[in-house]
Structure 1
């Protein structure tokens, strides 16, 4: 039996598959736009031989599952089967019952953008909750294990080969729009998978670390961690301060540091998710403020 968390993950993977399939049917297929990966291959087969893309997607995935089942854990295999099978099912159902006749071929930029959003959100949700849509993901794992190929490079090469093969039934214009859509979708996938929330992590090296740490802790209500460091050129021992703040606080933080030590070294990086004792960054900050006021 599945736990409540596993059932939640499976339900969200199903939702992601439905979103992706709805976009493929009403944007890619309806407007002669191709795709990358195994989905792109099924669209080529559909265009040339009129075979249902849901059926071909499932049939191509079955041997990949049989070959690649040892490469993934038991849980991921289940999630992958759920993702691939549900995506195939939704492709067939939506093509029969939810294919809307919306004339958009005169505005292929709009088609490419919306196709990217549907794929990005759908696949991003699937990835975020541990699933995949099968296909080239498994092929890349096989290449990585047995031939030492980079998974990223393998997926990129497969995408290029499939999109280029789309010239069998598309013109150059539509293939170029496909490339734009695939690129944008990859960015959206990252946002959905990692979380739209972005904080900032800050590393500080200063001769006045104690004053800076005290100011950040009590004026900005932010925790500060001190690391031991050593100068690469001078060999001198130094302390490195590490702190995470919201994006809208970064200007105030830098102003505070510069007011205390104008010569301080400050390095700022993006952080896509912050969790402290089960709370988000803002939730933990509010609890910390309540405890301090008590």
Structure 2
């Protein structure tokens, strides 16, 4: 079971990393979009040096991985190492076997959407599995360990500086697209993570909690908490069921409650921060 879980996890990490690869190589690099991170810096250095962006990315990631092992030791996440090396090797491999001399289309805004969306979705999936694609995240971990800097602000300012460098290296249109890409990227990752983790929280006021809890435990494979309550208007004895579950299960529970106890009072709210068994540890 443990090996099956590990294989499943690394398969998901591989798919997530490949999404980043597609977004970076086919949409970010050809258009010279430079909205932060190692890949953004690689675009800039690829223009001002004879080294291609893919090879710059590979060199920088290898250097950062070595620094990660030196300064972070055994706590350095193996999943990040795997994703970072896979990302760098895939970018270099694509450059060798499928070189691109120009963008895929003549629609830079369309390409910017994919340059932001694919890496943002891939990064969000990685973050959700306690992994990352390396790069500036490694530098952030080192800074977090040895300094008192605000890492979030430090990473944001470094992304801003990398994006601003586009105004010095590329034409104004490319620089403006890059600036817009930085804003979109900062919003996209958070929204994707929240959407992935979105669950439903139930407060069910009812008279017969046993049948509802039996359905929750035996059919939906979740648990619940039941409390005694009293109606403020009727003063009748009631019960409140507290439970949380994923969206497909929530649809089933809502339908079931309306069938077995149509007079139940149901409060359903969205939440993406649930810590406990069956959710995040």
Regarding TM over 0.5, the answer is yes
Pairing 1:157-236 to 2, within 5 Å after superposition: 157-185=157-185, 189=189, 196=196, 198-203=198-203, 209=205, 211=207, 213-214=209-210, 216-217=212-213, 223-226=223-226
| CA–CA distance in structure 2, aligned partners of residues 15 and 27 of structure 1 | 18
Deviations 1:61-117 (A, max 9, x none): 344334333665747533222222222221122123224555524x22211111122
Q: Does 1:137 align with 2:133?
A: no
Residue pair 2:33, 2:174 contacting (<8 A) in 1 also: yes
Q: Does 1:268 align with 2:264?
A: no
Judged with a 3 Å threshold, the aligned counterparts in structure 2 of structure 1 residues 200 and 77 are, in CA distance, closer, same or farther, namely closer
96-105 or 143-152, larger mean C-alpha shift: 96-105
| CA–CA distance in structure 2, aligned partners of residues 152 and 12 of structure 1 | 26
Q: Which residue of 1 aligns with 2:16?
A: 16
Shift of 1:227: 6.2
SS of the aligned residue for 1:69 comes to helix
| CA–CA distance in structure 2, aligned partners of residues 254 and 133 of structure 1 | 43
Q: Which residue of 1 aligns with 2:60?
A: 60
| CA–CA distance in structure 2, aligned partners of residues 95 and 6 of structure 1 | 30
Gaps in structure 2 of 5+ consecutive residues: 230-238
| CA–CA distance in structure 2, aligned partners of residues 250 and 104 of structure 1 | 47
Judged with a 3 Å threshold, the aligned counterparts in structure 2 of structure 1 residues 271 and 171 are, in CA distance, closer, same or farther, namely same
Residue pair 2:144, 2:151 contacting (<8 A) in 1 also: yes
Residue pair 2:54, 2:92 contacting (<8 A) in 1 also: yes
Gaps in structure 1 of 5+ consecutive residues: 230-238, 279-294
Judged with a 3 Å threshold, the aligned counterparts in structure 2 of structure 1 residues 242 and 170 are, in CA distance, closer, same or farther, namely farther
| CA–CA distance in structure 2, aligned partners of residues 194 and 52 of structure 1 | 35
| CA–CA distance in structure 1, aligned partners of residues 257 and 70 of structure 2 | 50
| CA–CA distance in structure 2, aligned partners of residues 153 and 72 of structure 1 | 21
Judged with a 3 Å threshold, the aligned counterparts in structure 2 of structure 1 residues 203 and 74 are, in CA distance, closer, same or farther, namely farther
Q: Which residue of 1 aligns with 2:121?
A: 121
| CA–CA distance in structure 1, aligned partners of residues 121 and 43 of structure 2 | 20
Shift of 1:28: 1.3
Residue pair 1:202, 1:269 contacting (<8 A) in 2 also: no
Residue pair 2:257, 2:264 contacting (<8 A) in 1 also: no
SS of the aligned residue for 2:122 comes to helix
Q: Which residue of 2 aligns with 1:233?
A: none
Residue pair 1:201, 1:242 contacting (<8 A) in 2 also: yes
When the two structures are superposed, what TM-score results if normalisation uses the length of structure 1?
A: 0.68
Q: Which residue of 2 aligns with 1:39?
A: 39
Q: Which residue of 2 aligns with 1:50?
A: 50
Q: Which residue of 1 aligns with 2:234?
A: none
Shift of 1:127: 3.6
Residue pair 2:199, 2:244 contacting (<8 A) in 1 also: yes
**Paired residues, number:** 261
| CA–CA distance in structure 2, aligned partners of residues 71 and 154 of structure 1 | 19
SS of the aligned residue for 1:39 comes to helix
Shift of 1:165: 1.5
Judged with a 3 Å threshold, the aligned counterparts in structure 2 of structure 1 residues 81 and 251 are, in CA distance, closer, same or farther, namely closer
Q: Which residue of 2 aligns with 1:80?
A: 80
Q: Aligned Cα RMSD in Å? A: 4.2
| CA–CA distance in structure 1, aligned partners of residues 189 and 73 of structure 2 | 23
Shift of 1:219: 8.1
Q: Which residue of 2 aligns with 1:232?
A: none
| CA–CA distance in structure 1, aligned partners of residues 143 and 208 of structure 2 | 50
